[in-house]
Amino acid sequence: MYSYSYRPPKRVADITSKKAEPEKTEPFTYEPLQPPGASFSWQEERRSEAVPASLHIPRERAPREYRVSGSRKRIAFLSLSILLLAFGAFFWYEAKHVKNAIQQEGETGYAKLSGAVESLSAEEYALSLRQFGEAERAFTDAQKRLDLFGGELLEITRFVPGLSRAASGKNMLEAGEHIAKAGPYLAEIVERFHSSKDAYGQGKKISLLQFLKQMKAPLGEARKELEAADAALQHVALDDIPEEKREQFLSAREHLPAILGLLTSFDQNEAVFEELLGGNGPRKYLFLLQNNHELRATGGFIGTYALLDMNDGVVRQFFVDGIFNPDGQLKENIVPPKPLQKVSAGWSLHDSNWFPDFPTSAEKAIFFYEKTGGPTVDGVITLTPEVMQKLLVITGPITLEKYGLTVDSENFIPVIQEQVEERYDREENKPKQVLADLSMKLFERVFALQDEKTLYRMADALIQGLNEKHVLLYARDHEAQALIDASGWSGRMLDTKKDYLSVVHSNINGYKTDGVIDETIRHRSEIAADGSVIDTVTITRVHNGGHTPYEWWNRVNADYLRVYVPEGSELLSAKGMTWEFPEAPLDYDALGFRRDQDVTHIESSEKIHEPSGTRIGVESGKTVFGNWVYVSPQESVTVEYRYRLPYRLSAGEDGRETVSQSVLYQKQAGTEGSRLESAIVYPEKWQAVWQTGGNLIPYEHTLKLEESLKADRFVGAAFRVK
């Protein structure tokens, strides 16, 4: 019997024996991909990664990126954090005849900003607007005095050691002025929000879509001013800040990009939100709650589903149920993919997420749901326990009177898992009902949230979930799906002309043991002198279970592993896996089972690598290697694939031409961040002249990268002959 569980709030390694120590990782900031559809373009490469004009690099398509800050905690939306810049005693200038006046006006400006924030928090909108205006006038007056001092001279002093204070002061004034200009727009947003909240409290249904449309113009203007403020702050030298004010200054300068990232995400994805919220007509969505402690290709085993009706930004209906209720009504017998035949004689909704390309799996889920007698839906949305746990942090504890339970973010995993596995009503035989009941109450509370700080935290949690593939979106409408693809939230397997790697696990009868597995993925790409490229992928999985209080973490992890690489790659060797080819449990043809076209197409192309028992096939435009891999509690397993890429690199011998090598790493949806160790090894006669992002560390003709794979990652470098 399958069941649904969640990631524990504390690492199992903290409560168990540490015979198998996972490798430690350092924190990183990640930049998820934002692909235009399923292909790449270098046209929006970041300015910080610009290629020198003297460097010729062959045109190559690569994924567009958008910047997502990793420091967002405790940022209230209405204050936007940057208004913490009230450290007015900054303005000192060597020109004695303007120093005191400028300093006083700067102090006044930031004091008025601080007061405006307090007034805004107290819902004193008229006073807040007046204070924002007074702050802007103070900064404008200070700027005029600086112009008398000599604007061009101030620009020059930025580059003269020891004389940067005047230029830093000028940039501080500019930042304050732009923040003050953003203030009235922010006040308008907050006032509109409170009006909506009051209406909701009177029992009126509020359209989130209408609210977002009203916010578009002021948010856009606020974003423009805050971007200018951020640019000015980046030119302020830290040494020019009084020591007692530096921590406050750094906090403000750090938080401002996070706020801008959220505003930018809203602006760029407005059309997606409008479609999802039913702005183009009533929409019905199939929610799939995936348990990433029992990994499947798109995030985890599907234990619970929900139906959501949206129209014009208003939730019309939300229904939650256990997955096996509709599965029992399936009206067709369909042959499952071969690995699933080990545990399931037939294919159904709870196993529909077999394909790592989420649009493909989403279509299968819709097909199976409709075959159970369910209504036609407009799209599919998935969630993992990571998102639900973050929502519980925001909503607070939820009491389930029927079960005598109070669930919060800390006890969520063990309490629900114990109820599902051991404490459910055997006569009723609905072990997942507790999760359905909890989900219903949780989302009811989420939809009822009206506090602006809480809504900001919820939006932040959902956007982070989308960026890290704990939330996936699919729309049947082609135009809507194109918008989701462009946002990077579709879970689609992407095309690339160079190297590619995606490691995908499917837990098949391995209980909930993925919740106690630590994984390291090592990818080494070696470029030979003749330009041929041989890759070696090593995957190490460490099982930290065995001595936990929970039996579902103390079992053997059974995994059907698939490794996706560039189509046409030639497998040279493979080792560390288990040779296993389970027989079909039924004579499907004799019993009249229908065969799925996509599965048949993939399996008919498969060949067997005899030395290792690796299945080699083609799927989603990739060559895929498939094997069974097992790891017992308190043990580790390492598998290795060595293969030749289907292309050669050619660099001109005269040193004038360059050649590029790149690799796209796509993380499996639902995983929490496997450790990635990447290395590009190039010939001794070659010289690395450029790289993406500056994160590749050069060492003896090798470019290395080590990080936690929280989101899709693209790296590349350009070389020329010495």
| Higher pLDDT pick, 225 / 62 | 225
Query: In this model, does residue 479 exceed pLDDT 80?
Result: yes
Share of the chain above pLDDT 70, in %: 70
192 and 253 share one domain: yes
Backbone angles phi, psi at 147, to 5 degrees: -60, -35
Q: 82-91, 299-308, 338-347, 521-530: which has the minimum mean pLDDT?
A: 82-91
pLDDT band at 110 (very low <50, low <70, confident <90, very high): low
| CA distance linking residue 159 with residue 238, whole number of Å | 14
Q: 157-171, 244-258, 695-709: which has the minimum mean pLDDT?
A: 157-171
Structural domain for 206, as ranges:
82-268
Listed residue (274, 259, 270) closest to 223, CA to CA: 259
In this structure, is residue 206 part of a structural domain? yes
In this structure, is residue 44 part of a structural domain? no
Residue with token string 């992890």:
557
465 and 530 share one domain: no
Listed residue (569, 566, 585, 581) closest to 612, CA to CA: 581
301 and 364 share one domain: yes
Contacts of 231 (CB under 8 A, 6+ apart): none
Contacts of 307 (CB under 8 A, 6+ apart): 284, 285, 286, 287, 317, 318, 319, 374, 375, 377
In this structure, is residue 667 part of a structural domain? yes
In this structure, is residue 63 part of a structural domain? no
262 and 279 share one domain: no
516 and 661 share one domain: yes
Last residue of one domain, picked from the residues 487, 504, 535 = 487
pLDDT band at 16 (very low <50, low <70, confident <90, very high): very low
| Higher pLDDT pick, 38 / 107 | 107
| CA distance linking residue 302 with residue 298, whole number of Å | 10
In this structure, is residue 303 part of a structural domain? yes
Listed residue (550, 542, 561) closest to 633, CA to CA: 542
pLDDT in tens, 609-655: 999 999 999 999 999 999 999 999 999 999 999 999 999 998 766 65
Q: Taking all residues of the chain, what is their mean pLDDT, rounded to a whole number? A: 79
503 and 480 share one domain: no
535 and 657 share one domain: yes
| CATH code for the domain in which residue 552 is found | 2.60.40
Does pTM top 0.85 for this prediction?
no
In this structure, is residue 23 part of a structural domain? no
120 and 239 share one domain: yes
In this structure, is residue 194 part of a structural domain? yes
**Residue 514: per-residue pLDDT:** 97
**Residue 715: per-residue pLDDT:** 94
In this structure, is residue 604 part of a structural domain? no
What's the number of domains the chain is made of? 3
Structure token pair of residue 369: 């749901």
370 and 417 share one domain: yes
395 and 500 share one domain: no
Structure token pair of residue 513: 């043991």
Residue 121's Cβ-count burial label (10 Å; 0-12, 13-18, 19+) is middle
pLDDT band at 285 (very low <50, low <70, confident <90, very high): very high
| Higher pLDDT pick, 595 / 153 | 595
pLDDT band at 222 (very low <50, low <70, confident <90, very high): confident
Backbone angles phi, psi at 359, to 5 degrees: -55, -35
The alpha-carbon radius of gyration of the chain (Å, integer) is: 28
DSSP H helix total and E strand total for the chain: 14, 22
The DSSP bridge pattern shows strands 636-648 and 532-543 to be antiparallel
* Pair 423, 400: CB distance under 8 Å: no
| CA distance linking residue 552 with residue 521, whole number of Å | 25
Last residue of one domain, picked from the residues 235, 268, 301 = 268
**Residue 657: per-residue pLDDT:** 79
| CA distance linking residue 135 with residue 132, whole number of Å | 5
**Residue 36: per-residue pLDDT:** 38
If one counts every other C-beta atom within 10 angstroms of the C-beta of residue 483, the result is: 22
446: left (phi over 0), alpha (psi -120 to 50) or beta: alpha
| CATH code for the domain in which residue 424 is found | 3.40.630
Structure token pair of residue 707: 């990080």
Query: In this model, does residue 533 exceed pLDDT 70?
Result: yes
pLDDT in tens, 43-70: 343 334 444 444 444 444 444 443 444 4
Mean pLDDT, to the nearest integer, of 198-202?
49
Query: In this model, does residue 72 exceed pLDDT 90?
Result: no
**Residue 192: per-residue pLDDT:** 66
Listed residue (682, 675, 674) closest to 706, CA to CA: 675
pLDDT band at 233 (very low <50, low <70, confident <90, very high): confident
Q: Which helix (H) or strand (E) holds 146?
A: helix 125-157
Last residue of one domain, picked from the residues 226, 247, 268 = 268
3-state secondary structure of 57: coil
* Pair 384, 287: CB distance under 8 Å: no
pLDDT band at 570 (very low <50, low <70, confident <90, very high): very high
pLDDT in tens, 443-474: 778 767 656 667 667 878 888 999 999 999 99
pLDDT band at 23 (very low <50, low <70, confident <90, very high): very low
419 and 292 share one domain: yes
Contacts of 401 (CB under 8 A, 6+ apart): none
The DSSP bridge pattern shows strands 674-681 and 517-527 to be parallel
> What would the 3-class secondary structure string for 319-348 be?
EEEECHHHHCCCCCCECCCHHHHHCCCCCC
263 and 302 share one domain: no
Sign of the CA dihedral 197, 203, 208, 213?
negative
